[in-house]
Amino acid sequence: MTVIKAPPGASAGIARPNRSFVVGAALVPAAPLSAGLYVVATPIGNLADVTLRALSILAGADLILAEDTRVSRTLLARYRIETPLSPYHEHNAAEARPRALQRIAEGRALALISDAGTPLISDPGFKLVTEAVAMGLVVTAAPGPSAALAALCVAGLPADRFFFEGFLPPRRPARRERINALAAVPGALVFYEAPGRLADTLADLALELGPRPTAVARELTKLHEEVRRGALDKLAAEYGGEEVPRGEIVIVVGPPLARGAVDAAALDGDILAALRTLSVKDAAAAVAARHSLPRRHVYARALALAGSQW
């Protein structure tokens, strides 16, 4: 393989292989890269979703830091990119990060990719970027696919304001507490979830947020892509009665529903109805979400009504 010296603007004193990538039948040379960290978005499923700039960076970099090198090799093989891969994930980051930063400081160009989508979105790249910035190293983004944004596009819900939460706590008490803390956010809520926890998470979302319009997007951009839309409580019931689904899942919950004033008698009626099947705590959460009221206020009233029934 021919070795060429980097031209002005590239890393000083570093000689790099003449690298390229393939798109269809075309062999495309990779542009020389200046020293720095390149945060590169990769496809979330369909390998055709990668950008030309991302391919050029991946082919031209000295090293690619990948969350799982086995997953990343599939993408590189598709476009015949031969850049070396090195693992960078939550289990080895403490050791791999100093080495990566040292290489950049010495004049190398390193690319950071995750298994799918945009790095730093629910993956361990944050500390690498912050330390690179603190060292005065150049950090460049090559934007592209993101499961959260793709789900917002197809959800059919207001997307002018949204809050990305990522994964909720796996244990139910902590999960419900966190959902309740998000109840007043004036925009859509975006969550990632594992297939095995989907039904339980939807049930907790419905309990804390009420029957908000929701979309569950699964396997986005892949062969078996599916998007289900409906009220939270109905989706929770659907998934609760089915086998555990497969694939990557994004949940998009619509903004708080606009509610009119609720008189005391109507509120008491809703609380009493909920108390027939739920505990005081769960009844208060459900009624509070339904009427967009502070849960503590409703809980206090639910305690009073529950006590009066004895």
pLDDT at 16: 52
Mean pLDDT, the chain, integer: 89
Q: Is the dihedral of CA 109, 114, 118, 124 positive or negative?
A: negative
More confident call, 295 vs 203: 203
pLDDT at 195: 96
pLDDT at 270: 87
- Give the integer Cα–Cα distance in Å for 20 and 81: 7
Other beta carbons within 10 angstroms of residue 218's beta carbon come to 21
Question: Strands 36-40 and 109-113: what pairing?
Answer: parallel
Yes or no: say if 124 and 93 are a contact pair by the CB < 8 Å rule. yes
Average pLDDT over every residue of 215-237: 96
pTM: 0.80
* 55-89 pLDDT tens trace: 999 999 999 999 999 999 999 999 999 999 999 99
- Give the integer Cα–Cα distance in Å for 221 and 154: 11
Amino acid of residue 263: D
Distance of CA 210 to the CA centre of its chain: 23
Residue range 3-145, CATH number: 3.40.1010.10
* Cβ neighbours of residue 113 closer than 8 Å, sequence gap 6 or more: 40, 41, 42, 58, 64, 65, 66, 67, 72, 119
Residue 299 above 90 pLDDT? no
* 258-279 pLDDT tens trace: 766 677 888 888 899 888 888 9
Yes or no: say if 250 and 190 are a contact pair by the CB < 8 Å rule. yes
Average pLDDT over every residue of 44-55: 97
Domain parsing of the chain, residue ranges: 3-145, 148-253, 264-308
Residue 123 above 80 pLDDT? no
Residue 6 above 90 pLDDT? no
Q: Which run of H or of E encompasses 310?
A: none
Residue 8 above 60 pLDDT? no
Exposure of 267 by Cβ count < 10 A (0-12 exposed, 13-18 middle, 19+ buried)?
A: buried
pLDDT at 184: 86
pLDDT band at 33 (very low <50, low <70, confident <90, very high): very high
pLDDT at 10: 43
* 164-202 pLDDT tens trace: 999 999 999 999 999 989 988 999 999 999 999 999 999
Yes or no: say if 97 and 4 are a contact pair by the CB < 8 Å rule. no
Which of the four CATH numbers 3.30.70.260, 3.40.30.10, 3.30.950.10, 1.10.530.10 does domain 148-253 have? 3.30.950.10
More confident call, 120 vs 141: 141
Q: What share of the chain is helix, strand, coil (3-state, %, to 5)?
A: 40, 20, 40
φ, ψ of residue 257 in degrees (nearest 5): -75, 140
Alpha-carbon distance values, 98 to 30, 45, 58 (Å): 27, 31, 21
pLDDT at 17: 55
